[in-house]
Amino acid sequence: MRPPAREFRDVRPGGRETTANEMMTMTATDQAMRPAHEPFWREKTLDEMSGAEWEALCDGCARCCLNKLEDWDTGEIAWTNVACTLLDGETCRCRDYENRAATVPDCIQLTPEEVRTLTWLPPTCAYRLVAEGRDLYWWHPLVSGSPDTVHEAGISVRGRTVPEDGMALEEYEYHVVDWPLEEG
pLDDT tens-digit series, residues 18-32: 443 444 444 445 545
Residue 175 belongs to some domain of the structure = yes
Give the domain range for residue 97. 20-181
Residue 9 belongs to some domain of the structure = no
Residue 8 belongs to some domain of the structure = no
The pTM score is 0.77
CB 131 within 8 A of CB 54: no
For residues 39 and 99, what is the distance between their CA atoms, to the nearest angstrom? Answer: 30
CA distances from 5 to 8, 37, 41 (A): 10, 16, 13
Residue 79 belongs to some domain of the structure = yes
Residue 53 belongs to some domain of the structure = yes
Q: Residue 57 carries which DSSP code?
A: H
Residue 172 belongs to some domain of the structure = yes
Q: Quick one: pLDDT band at residue 3, thresholds 50, 70, 90?
A: very low
For residues 18 and 8, what is the distance between their CA atoms, to the nearest angstrom? Answer: 7
Q: How do 66-70 and 77-83 pair as beta strands?
A: antiparallel
Structural domains of the chain, count: 1
Residue 4 belongs to some domain of the structure = no
Using DSSP's 3-state secondary structure scheme, residue 180 falls into: helix
For residues 45 and 109, what is the distance between their CA atoms, to the nearest angstrom? Answer: 18
Q: Quick one: pLDDT band at residue 34, thresholds 50, 70, 90?
A: low
For residues 133 and 148, what is the distance between their CA atoms, to the nearest angstrom? Answer: 25
Residue 44 belongs to some domain of the structure = yes
134-161 confidence digits (pLDDT tens): 999 999 999 999 999 999 999 999 999 9
